[in-house]
Amino acid sequence: MLGVRRLVASSVVRGSQKGESHGGVYLIDLKAREVVQTIDWNTVDIDWQGRGWDRGLRGIAIDGERVYMASSDELHAYTPDFRHIGSWRSPYLRHCHELAIHGRELFLTSTGFDSILGFNLDAQAFDWAMHVQTHNYRFNFSRFNPLGTEGPLPLNKLHFNNVFADDTGMYISGLHTGGMLQFSGKRVSMAVELPPGTHNARPFRDGVLFNDTEAGTLRYSGREDREDRIMKVPTYEAETLTFCDADTSGIARQGFARGLCVLGNTLVAGGSSPSTVTVYDLKANEQLLSVNLTRDIRNAIHGLAVWPFD
C-alpha cells in the first residue's frame, strides 16, 4: 500500500532553444495517476553555454510552507500554490544541480565551482560554503564566504550532481568523484565507490541508493546479506516518442535515470526520460506503478520529492 499520495517533480528540456519551454514543475497524484503542471519554465534569461546548463528548475526541497527550487545560478522560493515569493543569488552559485535540507540549512551543489553552498533558512541568506578538491586520489576541502570575493575558480572538475545530509554527515557525488563522498565536518573521504555517471546517491538503510544512469537502472546495494536490488527504468517504443533535430547531437536519450525520493522503508520513487516517475518496491524487487508526463525524448525528470500538502 502506498502511504504517499502525491509527488512533486521538476523536469529539464535538453536541447531547448530560445523561446521554447525549458522544463516545468508537476504535481503527480500516484493513486489517480494524474499529473498537473504548476510551472512552465520559459524564461528568456538563459545561460546558453553548453549541454545541461540552466535548462529548467533543478532540485526540490521543502521547508514548512516554502518550496525551494534552483535554476542555474539562483535559488527560488514558492508557496504551496506555486506563487513565487523570493529569490537569492551568490557569486559562487553556478550550474546548480540538486538541493538538500538538514537542520536549518539548505545545501546546494554549485557544480561550476566544485562547491557546496549553504543557505540559512532562518536568516534567508547564504552563509556557508565549501570548496572540494582532489589531489593524488585524496580529497580536501576549504571553507569560503559565499557572498565574498575570495572564493574558488569556476573549474568544474568534479561536476557535483547531488548533495544529501543527515546526522551522519554530508554526502556529495558527481560525475568525476568516483563515488559518494562523505564530509564529516573535519574531512572529506570516499564513503563508497559507485559506477560512472550515477545520480542522486544517498545512504539508505544499511547501504546506498542511487540512479545508475549509464545503465538505465535504479539501484540499492546493502551490506546486510549483500542485498542488491537493480530495477530497470521504463522505456518506450521508438514510434511513440517525440524527436527533434537536437536529438541527433546525443543531448537527449530515453532511459536516463535521474531524480529520486524515498517513500518508506522499502518504497522509493525514481525519475527517468522521457519524463516518467516510477515507484519501486525494494523488498519485492519490482515496479509498482509508473506515470508518464510526456513522450518528448528531450524532457527528463530532474528533481523529485514527496508533496506534503493536501
Residue 53's pLDDT is: 47
DSSP 233: P
**Residue 251 exposure: Cα atoms within 13 Å on the Cβ side:** 22
Residue 20's pLDDT is: 59
Residue 236's pLDDT is: 95
Beta bridge partners of residue 60, listed in sequence order: 69
- Residue 274 sits at the vertex; the CA angle it makes with 181 and 280, to the nearest 5 degrees, is 60
What is the Cα–Cα distance from 295 to 274, expressed in whole angstroms? Answer: 5
Digit-coded pLDDT (tens) for 233-268: 999 999 899 887 554 445 678 999 999 999 999 999
Beta bridge partners of residue 26, listed in sequence order: 9, 37
Which pTM was predicted?
A: 0.93
Residue 250's pLDDT is: 54
Domain ranges of the chain: 6-306
State the cell numbers at 45.
534569461
Residues present in the chain in total: 310
> Does the domain formed by 6-306 have CATH 2.130.10.10?
yes
Residue 49's pLDDT is: 47
What is the mean pLDDT, run by run of 10 residues, along the chain of 310 residues?
A: 88 68 89 94 54 68 97 95 96 96 98 98 98 92 97 96 97 96 96 95 96 96 83 94 63 90 96 97 94 93 94
Q: Among candidates 175, 218, 171, which has minimal Cα distance to 191?
A: 171
Digit-coded pLDDT (tens) for 49-80: 444 444 578 899 999 999 999 998 999 999 99
Q: Are 39 and 24 a contacting pair, CB within 8 Å?
A: yes
Residue 14's pLDDT is: 73
What is the Cα–Cα distance from 134 to 144, expressed in whole angstroms? Answer: 17
Residue 306's pLDDT is: 97
Residue 84's pLDDT is: 96
Handedness of CA 165, 167, 169, 175 (dihedral sign): negative
